[in-house]
Amino acid sequence: MEKRRDFIKKVAITTGGLALGSRTFGFTAKSYNRIIGANDRIHVAIIGLNGRGGSMCTTFAKATNCLVNTVCDVDSRTIPITQKK
């Protein structure tokens, strides 16, 4: 069984290390305001880029906190596939 004093020493050392580490890596109370949460950023996939799909892709790309992750189209003329030789 661990003695109470040893436990308190370990907790103090760990807490001090965490506090020091957060300063070292640049995490401060102000920096947490700049972190974007999962619900604040929208990831979009566009399927079909001819006509309305292409227009919506441009609209989503211009929006703040919106990221167009994936585009897909079955028409090979829309997104030409280049092969490495």
Q: Count of CB atoms within 10 A of residue 58's CB?
A: 11
Tens digit of pLDDT for each residue in 34-55?
Answer: 676 777 788 899 998 888 888 8
51/78 Cα distance (integer angstroms)? 11
Q: Where are the alpha helices (DSSP H) in 1-85?
A: 4-24, 52-62
CA-based angle 60:66:70, to the nearest 5?
Answer: 70
Beta bridge partners of 68: 44
In this prediction, residue 28 carries a pLDDT of 64
42/61 Cα distance (integer angstroms)? 11
- pTM of the prediction? 0.48
